[in-house]
């Protein structure tokens, strides 16, 4: 079995990236990480990726005259690595339709809510403000609409008395690190379409 070649795009600490890198170290896992890219040169996750011996790049929007030009450069970088699948892991950018359509069916994201609830930012604070009794995370295909693509896997956690956005985020992050590698396994093994 030839492993699918995966790139991860990050903007920050990269804990989901680390979970994917760790999963890919198993001999029977159907994907390998070929590199990590970022829109922030200072993203702490880039150093972690390098420490695993992975190639990295960073691109700044300020280098480009438009969002389309940035996303085209991003696709070119990924094509240089002969990437089969792109995993967004805390990549804090709105992607252009050109980018999402180019990678359609090969581009997935982890979002910290039970989609379609709480698309966008500040999901934990919004769930708490609503008095939600459960909250969670979703791995989904990326389509042009924000956090709108088909769901691959979800995990649910209880909202507990006294929760803050931080305690709730920490409970959900454990689940993110569990379901993201599982979702990538499903995609890379050909179990999804
Ligand atoms: C995670 O909560 C993920 O769901 C969201 O951004 C955060 C990234 O965290 N998309 P990390 O960089 O993977 O630690």
Q: What are the tens digits of pLDDT across the range 138-185? A: 999 999 999 999 999 999 999 999 999 999 999 999 999 999 999 999
Binding residues: 14-16, 67, 109
- In 3-state terms, what secondary structure has residue 57? strand
From the CA of 172, give the closest atom in ligand 1: 2
CB burial readout 2-29, b (16+ within 10 A) else e = eebbbbbbbbbebbbbbbbbebbeeeeb
From the CA of 14, give the closest atom in ligand 1: 12
* Whether residue 124 lies in the annotated active site: no
Bridge partners of 66?
Answer: none
Architecture of domain 4-189 in this structure: 3-Layer(aba) Sandwich (3.40)
Q: Cα 20 to chain center, whole Å?
A: 10
Binding residues for (6R)-10-formyltetrahydrofolate: 67, 109
Task: Provide the 10 A C-beta neighbour count for residue 147.
Answer: 18
> Could you tell me if the CB of 111 is within 6 A of ligand 1?
yes
Read off the tokens for 30.
Answer: 């159907």
Q: What are the tens digits of pLDDT across the range 97-146? A: 999 999 999 999 999 999 999 999 999 999 999 999 999 999 999 999 99
Number of H helices, E strands in the chain: 6, 7
* Beta-sheet pairing, 134-141 with 107-111: antiparallel
pTM of the prediction?
Answer: 0.97
The chain-wide mean pLDDT, for the chain, equals: 97
Domain boundaries in the chain? 4-189
- The catalytic position among 52, 82, 102, 111 is 111
Task: Quote the CA–CA distance of 87 and 172 in Å, as a whole number.
Answer: 19
């Amino acid at each position: 079995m030839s492993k699918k070649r995966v790139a991860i795009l990050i903007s920050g600490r990269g804990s989901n990236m680390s979970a994917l890198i760790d999963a890919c170290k198993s001999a029977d896992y159907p994907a390998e990480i070929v590199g990590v890219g970022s829109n922030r040169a200072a993203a702490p996750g880039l150093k972690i990726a390098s420490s695993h011996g992975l190639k990295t790049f960073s691109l700044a929007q300020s280098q480009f005259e438009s969002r389309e030009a940035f996303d085209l450069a991003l696709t070119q970088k990924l094509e240089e690595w002969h990437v089969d699948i792109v995993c967004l892991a805390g990549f804090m950018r709105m992607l252009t339709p050109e980018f999402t359509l180019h990678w359609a069916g090969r581009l997935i994201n982890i979002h910290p809510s039970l989609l379609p609830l709480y698309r966008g930012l500040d999901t934990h604070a919004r769930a708490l403000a609503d008095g939600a009794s459960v909250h969670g995370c979703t791995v989904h295909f990326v389509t042009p609409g924000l956090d709108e693509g088909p769901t691959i896997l979800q995990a649910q956690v209880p909202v507990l008395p006294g929760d803050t956005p931080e305690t709730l985020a920490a409970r959900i992050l454990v689940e993110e690190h569990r379901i993201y590698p599982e979702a990538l396994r499903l995609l890379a093994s050909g179990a999804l379409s």
